[in-house]
Structure 1
Amino acid sequence: MRKALLVAAALVATPALAQANPQIDYPAFQTLTASVAPQRATRLLKFDAFKAEAAKPGTLLLDARSKDAFAAGHIAGAVNLPLTDFTAESLAAVIGANPDRPILIYCNNNFRNDAVPVRMKAAPLALNIQTFINLVGYGYPNVWELADVIDMGDPAVGWVKG
């Protein structure tokens, strides 16, 4: 136990180790997250508004869940790009040349079913949060998020089974 406490204390006492990798910038992530929070708070759409926006020409309905989860089921019209595959290049290929294109997102936690393919995540780790932050961080400011908890079995959802 004492050894574990000493190791933990050493890690806390050496912040330089936390920034040893120049390709990981946690302070910049914290800054980005703080700057995105007020914008995200104004970009939550009730289901009816979400569906209406998704039907507009040029709007992208993006599903950032895994390829397997997407293949097992998704909202009709959605395009899949897993969050783990986000890069500047992959996002540009899916979103297109217009960085202001409206992008609608949803995740597992938008469904009350808590069943495959939409198993619920811990609320602070819901995929919408990371997806929203990443899209804005990559330069796509026109992101909108489904605010409601819906049932994938509701015909109004337009759920497509894989």
Structure 2
Amino acid sequence: MKNICLLLWLALPGWEQQQAYPPAKVDYGDYEALVSEVRDYRAQRLVSLDDFLQKAKDPHTVILDTRSKVMYDYKHVKGAVHLDFSDFTQAALDDLMRQYNGTATRILIYCNNNFEDRTQLSGMDRAFITKAATPGPPVSPGDIAEESSPAGKDYMTLALNIPTFINLYGYGYRNIYELAEWVDVNDPRIEFEGTSVLNRQ
């Protein structure tokens, strides 16, 4: 037994040297080309809240929430379905959209950076924390909210809408519309669902 263990131990360095893996299935060039292709297309698919809500009335339209399941459960636009962005695959999207109109399904998307709560001093709604990077030392969400006015912008937005749009397009879904406004969650035109909404009733 000792001899076998010794032979295995001696063989390991050679195995490690011989083992060669192919490159990971990651291609920055492919993604860069896709981003370039999507740029102008997306610019024509940005809609106001009124248009977003009007389109949502169509039975072949799906409101897609790609935030985490935790945040979706906590609060989401009424009627939205959930598929975490990190779970996007061809099969997962096809299975979901098969319930509607396949690749022709009209998809409405939104993310954290579409909503604020103007009744709060920080402007933040816990369910929709603004995704933005600021230069310098770490800051609190409230600090980002204060810096988020159009004038004097000194932050970089990292909204989930953009990678969501790009990936949907890449997976063959082109009938996408993105909410383009920064909406107050207290606006009576829009309704929300989730545990936080139930707890307030």
1:125: Cα distance to partner? Answer: 1.6
Of 181, 188, 191, which residue of structure 2 is paired with 1:158?
A: 191
Structure 1: gaps spanning 5 or more residues = 1-19
1:58 aligns with 2:68: no
1:154: Cα distance to partner? Answer: 2.1
Which residue identity does 1:23 align to in structure 2?
A: K
1:119 aligns with 2:129: yes
1:116: Cα distance to partner? Answer: 1.3
Aligned to 1:68: 70
* Contact preservation (8 Å) 2:109, 2:161: yes
1:34: Cα distance to partner? Answer: 0.4
- Structure 1 Cα separation of the partners of residues 104 and 110 of structure 2: 19
Name segments (4+ residues, structure 1) moved above 3 Å.
Answer: none
1:98: Cα distance to partner? Answer: 1.8
- Structure 2 Cα separation of the partners of residues 115 and 158 of structure 1: 14
Of 127, 132, 139, which residue of structure 1 is paired with 2:165?
A: 132
Aligned to 2:38: 36
* Contact preservation (8 Å) 2:72, 2:194: no
TM-score, normalization by structure 1: 0.84
- Structure 2 Cα separation of the partners of residues 124 and 54 of structure 1: 26
- Structure 2 Cα separation of the partners of residues 152 and 102 of structure 1: 24
Which residue identity does 2:69 align to in structure 1?
A: K
Aligned to 1:77: 79
1:124: Cα distance to partner? Answer: 3.6
Which residue identity does 1:88 align to in structure 2?
A: Q
- Structure 2 Cα separation of the partners of residues 26 and 39 of structure 1: 20
RMSD between aligned residues: 1.3
Of 12, 26, 29, which residue of structure 2 is paired with 1:27?
A: 29
Cα displacement string for residues 16-39 of structure 1 (whole angstroms, at most 9, x for unaligned residues)? xxxx73400110000000000000
1:159: Cα distance to partner? Answer: 1.2
Structure 2: gaps spanning 5 or more residues = 1-21, 118-123, 133-155, 196-201
Cα displacement string for residues 121-140 of structure 1 (whole angstroms, at most 9, x for unaligned residues)? 01542000000000000000
Q: Secondary structure at the match of 1:156?
A: coil
- Structure 2 Cα separation of the partners of residues 143 and 47 of structure 1: 15
Give the fraction of aligned pairs with identical amino acids, expressed as a percent.
41
Paired positions, count = 143
- Structure 2 Cα separation of the partners of residues 128 and 76 of structure 1: 18
Q: Which has the larger radius of gyration?
A: 2
1:107 aligns with 2:140: no
TM-score, normalization by structure 2: 0.68
1:115: Cα distance to partner? Answer: 2.3
Which residue identity does 1:155 align to in structure 2?
A: P
